[in-house]
Homo-oligomer: A and B are copies of this chain.
Amino acid sequence: MGLGMSKSNNVYKDAYNRCLRLLDETRSLPSEPELGTLLGVSRTTVRSILSRMEETGLIAWNKRAKTVLRDPALQDFFPEEETDTLAEIIERSFMRRLLAGGAEAGMQINELELAREIGVGTTSVREFLIRFSRFGLIEKRRNSHWVLKGFTRAFALELTEIREMFELRSAAAFAALPQDSPVWADLDQLEDEHQLLAREINTRFNAFSELDERFHRLIHRASHNRFIVDFYDVIAMIFHYHYQWNKAQERERNAVAIGEHLAYIAALKSRDLGKVDAACRKHLKSARQTLLTSIPESRQPSRT
C-alpha cells in the first residue's frame, strides 16, 4: 500500500466517524451546510459521508430527508489509524525515533531516509521538518541536511526560561482583567474540573495532561500577544511527549500539580498580583523540575 497514492481521505474518514456518533442522538440529520459546520468540513465531504451512510443502510437519504434507520455498529467505524493526518503520522514517527534513545545531539537528519522509513513522500517530510524547526530541536544547514540539536538539559532550561517569562506576564495580565470578562467563568469551570479530578486522582490521573494544557492556554491567552500564545505550542508539544515517555510517579506528580493549580487559581481570583506571582512561580518551578529530572544527564552538545 502507499504506492502512487496521492492523498489519503482521512478528513472524510475522521468526519464520518464523528458523524456516526451523532446518529445515536437524533432520529434525522440536519441540513448539509449545518452538518458541515458541525463537523468542520466542507459540504463536499458531508455529501460523501451521507452517500456512504445511505449505502451501508444507516440512513435513508432523499434530498432534505435524512432519516436514521439503525444505530451504528462497531464495524461501521473506520479504523482509528486511518483518520490521522500525514503530519501527525510523521510527527509521531519522528518523535519516537528522537526519544527512543540513540538520537545523539549533532546527528544529521536525512529527509529521504525518513520519508522511506515512514513510507511517505519527501515533500511531506520536508514540510514537517520546516514546521517542526520552530521547536528549537533541529536546525537546517544552508543547502544541506538538518541537524538534530537534541532533547538536552540545555534545551529544557532554555524552554522553561521563556515559559516562565511569558507565563508570569500572562498571569499578571489575567488578574488585571475586568470582572465581567468571560475568562472568569472559564476559570471557574476549570477549577471545578480540577477539584473533581483531585477527588478521583487514583483512577483518572492520566486525564491531567489535557486539563493542564487547557488551563495554561487560558492564562497565556490573557497576554493578548500572538507570540506568547503561539509559544505555548512548543511547551505543549514537549510536555505531550514528555508525559507519554516518562510515566514514573505520574500519579503523585499530577496530584501535586493539581494542588498547585488550585492555589494558582485561587491567587488569580484574589486578583492580588503578589499572590499570583508567588503561586505562578511555585508551580512553574516544580514543572521545570519535573521536566529536568526526566532528561538523562549526558555529554553536552557543542554550542555554535
Contact = CB atoms under 8 A, between A and B. Distances in A.
A158 B225 contact: yes
A141 B158 CA distance: 30
Contact of A136 (B40, B131, B149, B230): B230
A143 B127 CA distance: 14
A158 B227 contact: yes
A295 to B, nearest CB: 16
A147 to B, nearest CB: 13
A113 interface: no
Interface residues of A, number: 28
A230 B162 CA distance: 12
Given A11-B143, A136-B230, A169 B158 contact: no
Nearest to A128: B130
Copy total for this chain: 2
B131 A228 contact: no
A227 B159 contact: yes
Contacts of A126: 127
A44 to B, nearest CB: 12
Contacts of A136: 226-227, 230
Contact of A40 (B142, B155, B162): B142
Interface string A215-244: 000000000111110110010000000000
A162 B228 contact: yes
Contacts of A131: 130
A161 interface: yes
A282 interface: no
Interface in A260-304: 303
Contacts of A161: 225
A134 interface: yes
A246 interface: no
A131 B133 CA distance: 9
A165 interface: yes
A219 B178 CA distance: 38
A123 interface: yes
Interface string A143-163: 100000100000100110110
Contacts of A159: 227
Contacts of A142: 40
A243 B211 CA distance: 44
A224 B225 CA distance: 23
A89 to B, nearest CB: 15
The 6 closest A-B pairs by CB, nearest first: A158-B225, A136-B226, A162-B227, A130-B130, A134-B134, A158-B226
Interface of A: 11, 40, 123, 126-127, 130-131, 134, 136, 142-143, 149, 155, 158-159, 161-162, 165, 169, 224-228, 230-231, 234, 303
29 contacts: A11-B143, A40-B142, A123-B123, A126-B127, A127-B127, A127-B130, A130-B130, A130-B131, A134-B134, A134-B230, A136-B226, A136-B227, A136-B230, A149-B226, A155-B226, A158-B224, A158-B225, A158-B226, A158-B227, A159-B227, A161-B225, A162-B225, A162-B227, A162-B228, A165-B165, A165-B169, A224-B303, A227-B231, A227-B234
